[in-house]
Structure 1
């Protein structure tokens, strides 16, 4: 379960790179009720997506030529420079060298050996997101790579993750991730990539009504690429793209057993 405790290795930030941030802010505002607030004139168009005054995500323009619209997940790193060293040592790629973001913190961006892009956030003045797990905020994360077993050593070396396999119906196995020593259990899953797809991290945003949210996605110019389905003990979820093609999922989680 995601929390704002942000133990090392846990998701602590998420942002969207968009070719048209204003249009993207309008789309996600219509779907989730988010309000965009600029980070200021020196932030290059970057800003915060908030719900009831709490930051649930961030948004900015695409910075690199050829970059595709996408959500980027950040994981808490006590030392971004050490994380970059480990990424190189264990077969990943450093796409953005560690650097300070004003006095908010220090970040770096990587690609894992399976081809999925992600980033790390070393907190400074900003610890991370203000809200997770609640409706309208980040609720879950999943990694899709061609061979889940091939990236386990990379992520355990980078974040000291604890990884276990659990049955997932139909004879499938779901790889479940926790932070070191189980201090923050169940923060992510790892799934095999479908043939023809590209490796990626997929954010799930919690919503109070999955089907009603999909109606808003469609009405606002997005698309539903994996229709809503229900999994016992998990909830009802679907995968979508926004009008620029950035992929995300929505989930109405099952109620915890009483």
Structure 2
């Protein structure tokens, strides 16, 4: 969600190479595409709505109303909806017990589309107070680790709860946010999105030239390099790229 739809499209087009098409949700909405594949949606915040610009993940569910009920039953919050959209989907904006905001969406989702595949976001990260407790909440609300065909598997690896689909990681849940840090925008419980780019340094240069700000140094692992940024309206996200691996001898 952003206040300047045109400016936001220019920024992410320059940084991530996205192209934009009108969405069937109505005026003020657009769908970002990469290589002809839909990647993300951007909607316009009205001037009188006191909400910060932010990226919000939406999880596909079978029934938005039943899922919203499960959120309430487990002390989460249903902020908006569920409501029906012209596209045929039905969704709601909700929050978990610690206040991390996410969406639920029923209908109109391709079975081939998911995080971690193709041009879609690389993965999601939940930064929260207690990762294990949050995993129980999301598992009960979204049906993780239920054994149903196509559902996600959950494991505990290196002090993280890791969510996998088809064996591939799609989300990580990290705990450790303290009560004091929960009131600071950069460290409050929230979902965080990672976008993959072919060249991290070029993407950083494009982001800063377009009004973005780096919030961290470039981090690295044996397989990836990444950096966290803020777009011109304040929405935070991370860019990541695979490191070149030495040729086998």
- TM bucket by the smaller chain? 0.7 to 0.9
Structure 2 gaps of 5+ residues are 146-153
CA distance in 1: counterparts of 2:9 and 2:208, whole angstroms: 16
Equivalent of residue 138 in structure 2, options 133, 149, 155: 155
The normalised TM-score by structure 2 is 0.84
Q: Work out whether 1:165 is the aligned partner of 2:165.
A: no
Aligned length: 231
Structure 1 gaps of 5+ residues are 1-16, 168-172
Partner of 1:178: 164
Partner of 1:3: none
- Give the Å deviation of 1:135: 7.1
Q: Work out whether 1:238 is the aligned partner of 2:235.
A: no
Structure 1 pair 231/73, CA: closer, same or farther in 2 (3 Å)? same
CA distance in 2: counterparts of 1:256 and 1:116, whole angstroms: 36
Residues 211-220 or 72-81, more deviating:
211-220
Partner of 1:96: 80
Structure 1 pair 123/215, CA: closer, same or farther in 2 (3 Å)? same
For residues 61-108 of structure 1, what are the alpha-carbon distances to aligned partners after superposition, in whole Å with 9 as ceiling and x for unaligned? 014710110011011101111100100011110011112111431111
Partner of 1:80: 64
SS in 1 for 2:216: strand
SS in 2 for 1:187: strand
For residues 21-70 of structure 1, what are the alpha-carbon distances to aligned partners after superposition, in whole Å with 9 as ceiling and x for unaligned? 11000100110111222226x71310111123221111110147101100
Question: CA-atom RMSD, angstroms?
Answer: 2.5
- Give the Å deviation of 1:252: 0.8
Answer 1 or 2: higher relative contact order, Cα 8 Å, separation at least 6.
1
For residues 170-207 of structure 1, what are the alpha-carbon distances to aligned partners after superposition, in whole Å with 9 as ceiling and x for unaligned? xxx1221135xxx4642200113373421111110011
For residues 214-258 of structure 1, what are the alpha-carbon distances to aligned partners after superposition, in whole Å with 9 as ceiling and x for unaligned? 11111111011022111124x111111100000111111357999
CA distance in 1: counterparts of 2:205 and 2:112, whole angstroms: 27
CA distance in 2: counterparts of 1:129 and 1:187, whole angstroms: 14
Structure 1 pair 256/78, CA: closer, same or farther in 2 (3 Å)? farther
Task: Answer yes or no: is the 8 Å Cα contact 2:116–2:169 preserved in 1.
Answer: no
